[in-house]
Structure 1
Amino acid sequence: MKAEIRFEFIETNRITLHVARAGNSEAPLVIFLHGFPEFWISFRKQIDAVIDAGYQVMLPDQRGYNLSDKPWRIGSYKLDKLAKDIVGLIDYSGKEKAYVVGHDWGAAVTWFIGATFPDRVHKIITLNVPHNSVMRKFIFTNPEQRKKSKYMFDFQWPIIPQMTLKKNDFENLTKVLSRTSVEGTFDKSNLELYKEAWGRRRAIPCMLNWYRATFRRKLKGVKSQITIPTLIIWGKKDEFLMKEMAEASLKYCDQGKLEYIDDATHWVQHEKPEIVSKLIVDFLSEEN
């Protein structure tokens, strides 16, 4: 990575987020949102390509992760609050609108922003998590996906899940990353960075609260249709999510586009960085 990264602690939506930034602050803004169990470095391999294409980037540690604030209440991790965190970053940048790119839980937030705040985003790009309505439908009605998502139900228990994840220096988390990705994707040096983030006070229980919050009372009156241009990038060898969910998400997009990547897993931006970066840059620069 050749870009010069600078770090800021930014107040937004009554919390403080740790944010990595790079690029010319006058350039159009692209915000990258990581998922579980990562932090801002999730999209580090995309930074140079996006900056070289003429954009600036923000990569926050989302609430509950790494160096960002970690509210204790489960309700603090509902999608509406998570989305407002990111809208606050757009406000802080001085921009009217931004481009938002998200992976895993970051994609769930991105979908929500696209539906709820279309006046604040030019386009959205999601990686390996479907539209929120598709996710909910498949988890509760499709036996195969329900089986794949068993861990999400396990995470609803108090105390036990965080004890399991912390055990033996985060052995279970590191094994999951290694087992479900292309060999060599997460090397020892990377895993040490993750362990440092996971080891911060209250990090693991607050990371799990993202899962717990989504199983609580469903948000009412939330729009689901995405009217702005949307790109879905999907690694076809995802062990956690059925690829059919990607195509099902297109019906919620007025201007949707789907790109499958054959030899990639759930961790697509790590495994195929050049392909993913090109897809992102090409989509950002396309005329609507």
Structure 2
Amino acid sequence: MDFMINVNHKRIKTNGIWLHVAEKGTGPLVLLLHGFPELWYSWRHQIEYLAESGYHVVAPDLRGYGDSDAPLNPNSYTIFHIVGDLIGLLDHFGQQKAYVVGHDWGAVVGWNLSLFRPDRVIGLVNLSVPYFPRSPTTKTTESIRQIFGDGSHVIQFQEPGRAERAFARYDYMTVMKKFLLVTNKMIAPTDMEFIDYLETQSSLPPWLTEEDIRVFAEKFEESGFTGPLNYYRAMDLTWELLAPWQGSKIMVPVKFMVGDKDFGFKSGGTSEFVQGDEFRSLVPDLEVVIVGGHHFIQQENPQEVSSQILSFLRQHPADE
């Protein structure tokens, strides 16, 4: 765990809670926002690379995760709460603007941070999850149910306690392997729990070690999965609260990266959306890059992802 020792860890009070962050380097501030079910550690390669390239890199455990506070009420996990936490981080570090890099749920947060407060964002690099337009009439979970049915993980995660009970049938190492090495579609048969549907790989790929998985597993064993699952349980409340931004565009510079074998990219028309005109109409200053890999591309393909991030940062220099 030498890498973890070389990163500065601290807890910062923001938006009424304490967030744990890992940080390294000096220079313009870069926020790295992880997804589900991950931690700051999913950015271990990018933290090192960007810090050595002249940036102050801050990777929080988002609320509900790891060593950050985890409010019990699902209503405390709307996108406004998460974005509010990050504005507090920018204020703590005395920065009016930062670069933002997000993956999975962290990408959702990055999109909305850029939507609500473009004055705080120099530029955005998002991975795996594009900016989808808000339906004016249909709640998020209903839209997902219409496309993917009741076997979607999003739908199964709605019921408080259901996923937690299903996950508990496995040890934490197995749960993390199932998610981090997912290759099958994120749609389970309706009579099967989603975690049971995910395959358990017999061997690890070169990009992920037992030690890496143990970092995740031990933290989730301490903090549990309810906080992370509450992001899904707040989706419909977020949909209601987002009504004033109906039809709004993301006006900051954006690079969007997605793995060519990502289950999300290949399903539900997402590939066509990402490469089509509607996405570009919603995000006018957009560059799309398709890289090799599945969903967790910053871990699976760290060299290419890191170099793509750095090229974007240098293309959009911070104001002196």
**TM-score normalised by structure 2 residue count:** 0.81
State the distance in 2 between where 1:90 and 1:48 align: 21
State the distance in 1 between where 2:230 and 2:157 align: 9
Bigger drift between 121-130 and 235-244 goes to 235-244
CA distance 1:245–1:212, change in 2 (3 Å): farther
The runs of 5 or more residues in structure 1 that have no matched partner are none
Q: Which amino acid aligns with 1:164?
A: A
Any residues of structure 2 matched to 1:1-288 within 5 Å, and which? 4-24=6-26, 27-133=27-133, 146=148, 150-170=152-172, 171-180=174-183, 183-201=205-223, 203-216=224-237, 218-219=240-241, 220-222=243-245, 224-241=248-265, 242-247=270-275, 248-261=278-291, 263-287=292-316
Q: Which amino acid aligns with 1:4?
A: N
CA distance 1:148–1:272, change in 2 (3 Å): farther
Offset, 1:271: 1.2
**TM-score normalised by structure 1 residue count:** 0.90
**Deviation digits for residues 87-112 of structure 1 (CA, Å, limit 9, x no counterpart):** 11110001110001000000000000
The runs of 5 or more residues in structure 2 that have no matched partner are 185-203
SS of equivalent residue, structure 2 residue 298: helix
State the distance in 1 between where 2:71 and 2:144 align: 33
Offset, 1:190: 1.3
Answer whether contact 1:71 1:206 (CA < 8 A) is retained: yes
Q: Which amino acid aligns with 1:5?
A: V
Offset, 1:186: 3.0
**Deviation digits for residues 14-54 of structure 1 (CA, Å, limit 9, x no counterpart):** 11000001012xx1100000000000011111122212221
CA distance 1:144–1:98, change in 2 (3 Å): same
State the distance in 1 between where 2:134 and 2:273 align: 6
State the distance in 1 between where 2:62 and 2:279 align: 24
**Larger Rg computed on CA atoms:** 2
Task: Flag the structure with higher strand content.
Answer: 1
CA distance 1:130–1:144, change in 2 (3 Å): farther
Offset, 1:184: 3.8
Offset, 1:138: 9.4
Offset, 1:63: 0.2
Q: CA RMSD in A?
A: 2.6
Bigger drift between 13-22 and 157-166 goes to 157-166
* Matched residue count: 284
